[in-house]
Amino acid sequence: MGIIVVKPGVLATIQDLGRYGYQNQGVVVGGSMDQTAARIANWLVGNDESEALLELTLAGTELRMEREAWIAIAGGDMEPITGQGEKVPQWRPVRVDAGTTIRFGRSVNGCRAYVALAGGIDGEMRLGSRSTYLRGGIGGYDGRALRAGDRIEARNEPAKFAVSRLAESQSGSLRFPLWHAGGFAVAHSDVAVIRWMPGAHYDWLSEEGQSAFGDGTFRIGRQSDRMGYRLEGEGRLGQHVRKGELLSEPVTIGTIQLPPDGNPIILMADRQTTGGYPRIGHVATVDLPVLAQLKPGDRLQLQRVTSMEAEKLLIEAEREMTMLGKAIELKLNG
């Protein structure tokens, strides 16, 4: 069951839910940036949520199906179309005929799209994960980003689908059901609201610095990638932060560091395991998928919550995800 990468686009990698258990050795966690979309995409084709899938970034990917297969596309909306110009429906299982080409355009909402393949994508398993660790050169597809000509295979026999029931609708080389999970797509907004809680060094900021940070609107900087997002705001936070030396301490996804230049960095999937900059805050885990869908130039507004609230929000979101997972399972297996 092969998918040929005709064009990789800006950046396409194989990811799963991350590489855990080796952070004490300096090995980054990695994994899909938007784990909500990644998990749902896998569920939609009957996979376990931990299967590897493709993470496409911003624009320009083109894939060709060597054989007929069930796929699901979720996450950022790159308005995928087939070579014949039919829209490929997203957030639902889609059966694609052999020989079909799928072209992803420039993202109109979000930054990263996930493509799951029934049976899971077979990537190199290293240190317990198939995620591509670009800097370490391991996992996924030879530890590197996908290139034109790469062939991606399914790992398992795909789950048996009730094709007649799922393929309610047809458009050219595509068959798909009318239901979808698009309600879980990150809503488009001019300014994304990202909830955060203060970190250990929040009080290193003067009062002025705290209000410039907490009430500020920021832009995602150009030098933002899977390792971290740079926030650019009007307030120069560097002037309002106490100077001091810190011992390197562990950090985690969503940690907001403040380097001397005064532009905060939010650590993302490919973050280092430890860091020596002041930790002024942490993004609530529940909002990481929203953040992962922001691209350079997008704006965000920070909204302060307590860590107790962040925890409650996460538990609530996970409850909804569990219900969605069950609903999809029922639809697939009826």
Partner 1 sequence: MKKPYKMSPLGDSSVLIQFGDRMDELSHRLVMEAVRWLDAGRFPGYIECVPAFASVAVHYSPIQVLRSLDGEERMRETVYETVCYRVEKLLVHIDAVTESDSEMKNVRTVAIPVCYGGEYGPDLEEVAAICGRSAAEVVRLHSDADYLVYMIGFAPGFPYLGGMPEEIAAPRRGTPRAVIPAGSVGIAGGQTGVYPLATPGGWQLIGRTPIKLFRPDADAPSFLQAGDRVRFFPITEEEFLSWKDNESVDGLR
| Chain positions contacting partner 1, by CB under 8 A | 20-28, 126-127, 135-138, 197, 199-200, 247-255, 272-274, 279, 282-285, 307-308, 310-311, 314-315, 318
Distances from the Cα of 140 to the Cαs of 25, 38, 52, 145, 191, in angstroms? Answer: 20, 15, 8, 8, 34
Closest contact distance (angstroms) between CB of 36 and partner 1 is: 13
Nearer to partner 1, 276 or 297 (CB): 276
By beta-carbon proximity to partner 1, the closer residue of 27 and 332 is 27
Q: Which two tokens stand for residue 210?
A: 């705290």
Residue number with CB closer to partner 1 (25 or 164)? 25
Q: Which is nearer to partner 1, 247 or 330 (CB)?
A: 247
Q: Are 154 and 163 in contact (CB under 8 A)?
A: no
Tell me the closest approach of the beta carbon of residue 88 to partner 1, in angstroms: 32
Instruction: Dig out the tokens for 87 from the structure.
Output: 């829209």
Query: Which residues in 78-214 belong to E strands, given as ranges?
Result: 81-82, 93-96, 101-103, 109-117, 151-153, 169-171, 174-176, 191-198
DSSP character for 273? S
Judged by DSSP in three states, 217 sits in: strand
Between 24 and 164, whose beta carbon lies closer to partner 1? 24
The H-or-E segment that residue 256 falls in is strand 255-257
